Amino acid sequence: MEKFKKKYLYLIIMVMIGILVGIIFSNILSNQDNKLVYSKITTYFNNIKNDVSINYFKNLFTSLRNNYFYLIIIWILGLSVIGLLFNNFILFFKSFVLGFSIGCIINIYLYNGIVLAFLYVFPSLIINILVYLIMTYYANSFSLKLIDILFRKKEYHFNTLITKYIKMLGLFMIILTFSSLIETFIMPFILKLFSFLIK
């Protein structure tokens, strides 16, 4: 139980550091990069504010593709020894992107940006990062069991392990599907309600 807690705590700390580094990085961008990020973010929020037509199904497809891609990569890497290294990097990268998005929105809209950033990440992006965190935990655990089997000659019921591992992938794909639906159909509507903050 203590080892279980330590592994989760390690990943949680990694996520928090990734978010913090992302926020810090958003404040030290060069002027050229700043303009590019500023343009993309303001275009997104202004489109919502001005009722620009949204291609919901295209956005849903993009969201599902991106979410599934990272989840499946983490899952596949968990089937190998190298997954211990690369999965932690992927989790850190996703946390960094989340922090970077938050930092950029706040930099552009200042105090209003705090509310907009919260609405932008909650709940879909928070759900996503939690899914990646838990999937990384299970992927790392599976990799460690593979090491035990291959190099320490420990015995596990491999069929049981792989069945549980496949079920975890299916469960998280369902959760990410709901997250993508929220991100595509609900989040723009909520942001529209607070469009008076977009200036």
Q: How far apart are CA 53 and CA 67, in angstroms?
A: 24
**Residue 6: pLDDT band with limits 50, 70, 90:** confident
Q: Percent of the chain having pLDDT more than 70?
A: 93
Neighbours of 112 (CB within 10 A): 16
At 100, the amino acid letter reads F
pLDDT, average across residues 53-70 = 93
Whole-prediction pTM:
0.92
85-113 pLDDT per residue, tens: 899 999 999 999 999 999 999 998 989 99
Q: Percent of the chain having pLDDT more than 90?
A: 59
pLDDT at 2: 59
pLDDT at 69: 97
Q: How far apart are CA 171 and CA 98, in angstroms?
A: 23
Q: How far apart are CA 42 and CA 93, in angstroms?
A: 23
pLDDT at 1: 57
pLDDT at 152: 67
- The secondary structure of the chain in percent helix, strand, coil, rounded to multiples of 5, reads 85, 0, 15
16-57 pLDDT per residue, tens: 999 999 999 988 876 666 777 788 888 888 888 887 888 889
Q: Residue 101, class by beta-carbon neighbours within 10 Å (0-12 exposed, 13-18 middle, 19+ buried)? A: buried
> Residue 152 has what DSSP assignment?
S
